Amino acid sequence: MLKSSNINSVLNELPDQTARDQKVQSSNNGNPKQDADTCCSSKDQDVMGSLAALQLSAGVLQIAEPPLEHVRSQLRELIGRQNKIYIDVSKEKYKLDCSEVARLNDMMSDVKRYKEKLTKIKKEMQGIYQRTKELKKRAANVAACKQRDYQRKLERLQHEESLIGGH
């Protein structure tokens, strides 16, 4: 693949066959018919085809090479960033050595234990709430019964007083 867009460098890369064909043409300068035959020979057509192919490939390369270089530079930059991130992640991973991992495991077991304690306390609180609710209900019933007993006692006293006072 050619990397230069310079026509002269493309021409310099032609095979030695073109140089030999030029020598043949210069030696046959005296005869115009021979010049025409040499010009139209299959060897010359091959050389002209090669020249056209080289020029065409140089033109295509000139068009396609700048975007490809831009993509290559972007890929290099992306790979560099990926490598930097990989190195940073690796450093962070190694910062958590065995002692920190063990400490983290202890903390996780503490969290589990505290969660179980919290659940137990919550159940106990619900039980206490239910018992206090029942006790309040019983206390209200007891207060109502005492109030009725007191009311009956008062009524009996009034009745006795009315019997005593009516005598």
Dihedral Cα 107, 109, 114, 116, nearest 10 deg: 160
- How far, in Å, CA of 101 to CA of 111, rounded? 15
pLDDT for 34: 47
Consecutive 10-residue averages of pLDDT for the chain (167 residues): 46 47 45 47 74 88 88 94 93 77 90 97 97 96 96 93 78
pLDDT for 9: 53
pLDDT for 30: 47
Residue 49: domain span = 7-74
Asked whether residue 79 is assigned to any structural domain, the reply reads: no
Asked whether residue 59 is assigned to any structural domain, the reply reads: yes
Nearest to 39 by CA among 54, 24, 55: 24
Asked whether residue 12 is assigned to any structural domain, the reply reads: yes
DSSP-assigned states of every residue in 66-94: HHHHHHHHHHHHHHHHHHHHHHHHHHHHH
Q: Please tell me the pTM assigned to this model.
A: 0.34
**Contact status, residue 3 vs residue 57, Cβ threshold 8 Å:** no
Asked whether residue 29 is assigned to any structural domain, the reply reads: yes
Asked whether residue 26 is assigned to any structural domain, the reply reads: yes
Asked whether residue 69 is assigned to any structural domain, the reply reads: yes
Asked whether residue 13 is assigned to any structural domain, the reply reads: yes
Q: How many domains does the chain have?
A: 1
Asked whether residue 138 is assigned to any structural domain, the reply reads: no
Percent of the chain residues past pLDDT 90, beyond the cut: 44
